[in-house]
Amino acid sequence: MRDEPTVETIMQKDVAVLGPEDRLDLADDIMSLGRVRHLPVVENGTVVGVVSSRDLLRASLSQVLEFEPAHRRTFMRGIEVSEVMSKAPVTVPPDATQRHAAHLMLHRKIGCLPVVGAECTLVGLVTETDLLRAFVHADEKRRDTIETKPRAEENAMDRNDMKQRLHEELDELRRIRDELRVQANLGAANAKDAWERNESRFKDVEQKLEGLAHVAEDALEDVGEAVKLVFSEIREGYKRIRDSI
């Protein structure tokens, strides 16, 4: 069974944090400048809470209190993070699966999960956006694999079919060649000359066909067409030799 992807592979490792005694105006500045919506609160190296811009800052201060921007700023400067943070936050270890993290967020109706190591020390943060991006990427990769595999198999079949047809045609020319070999050499001088010219072309096409296995895929069709053209010339040459004898 293949291991499921963990939150460690998608979590944010360089995470801005707050202390319980920091003021809300600092939290607002960090969220605005960093364009983040969640900030872990850390005390003595341990995660003790989470501050959410949506739930605690924007909604509570802007919509409920309806302060003017200047008044709102003054108010926020007087409130400590510990008064509004979500205490005892839900956390996960780095080896938690992404699926487990998604279930936790849905069940607990939260937008982020601090990722903690030993003694609840912060090692990262995974958000709903991180998970959504990971799931979309995995789905696209799976779809590309499903679509690419049949194309690759189809291309391989086409290559093998072309090689098979060329070898079959070469075998047919060999049969005609064997029938005419003795007659051409016992015949008139012009038949001998034509035979030697055809022999040169035959050896050339044999070498091309032997090298077909090493031809790049994008050049295979062109080489195959060239070989078919030489086949046609050789066949016509054998016809002229047969007519002359």
Residues 188-212 pLDDT 10s = 666 777 777 777 777 777 776 666 6
Indicate if the pLDDT at residue 65 is higher than 70.
no
pLDDT in tens, 21-54: 999 889 888 988 888 889 999 999 899 999 987 6
In terms of pTM, does the model score above 0.85?
Answer: no
Adjacency order of strands within the sheet including 38-43: 38-43, 46-52, 86-87
Residue 166 token pair: 């060329």
Distance CA 20, CA 22 (A): 6
Q: Mean pLDDT, to the nearest integer, of 130-154?
A: 72
Can you give the pLDDT at residue 60?
A: 53
Indicate if the pLDDT at residue 231 is higher than 70.
yes
Distance CA 224, CA 29 (A): 67
